[in-house]
Amino acid sequence: MLTRIDHIGIACHDLDATVEFYRATYGFEVFHTEVNEEQGVREAMLKINETSDGGASYLQLLEPTREDSAVGKWLAKNGEGVHHIAFGTADVDADSEDIRGKGVRVLYDEPRRGSMGSRITFLHPKDCHGVLTELVTSAPVESPEH
């Protein structure tokens, strides 16, 4: 069951400049950064708020590290802007299979590693009214040590 908007992915040419725009304009601060070699992106997660299911909602800023990455190709075709929307779920495997059973193409046979240790998959935009849609199961939150 989808529980929240996990994040909105925004493709950009210059991650540092885009982060600075969101910081200076809206006061959003970087919560997490990483390079995902498999997906060919450098990213920054800007936390917007906490959610009632223990997760959070973010803006995910994505800068391609290679022109042949999915985000690199998308930027070349579309320019900067909203790339995808991601919905949080407790079980990306079950929800992606349920959605596949409804005739929506799921782009990965098995979920892959996403930001901050999450498990993700994508749904084909042609089956989702033109919107690239991601399903995300967040990594377990580690208990703080006392």
User: Which of 39, 63, 83, 84 is the catalytic position?
Assistant: 84
| CA angle (69 as vertex; 63, 70 as ends), nearest 5 | 90
Six-digit token pair at 116? 């901050």
Please state, in angstroms and rounded to a whole number, the distance separating the CA atoms of residues 67 and 75: 9
**Catalytic annotation on 124?**
no
The residue from 13, 39, 60, 97 that is catalytic is 60
39 is known as an active-site residue: no
The CA distance from 43 to 75, in Å, is 14
Q: Choose the catalytic residue: 7, 39, 63, 83.
A: 7
Q: Which of 39, 43, 63, 83 is catalytic?
A: 43
* Residue 75 structure tokens: 């930027």
Residue 125: Cβ within 10 Å count: 14
**Is 84 noted as a catalytic residue in this protein?**
yes
Based on the residue annotation, tell me whether 13 is a catalytic residue of this protein: no
d(CA 5, CA 66): 28
The CB density around residue 5, as the number of other CB atoms within 10 Å, is 16
Could you give the residue numbers annotated as active site? Answer: 7, 43, 60, 84, 134
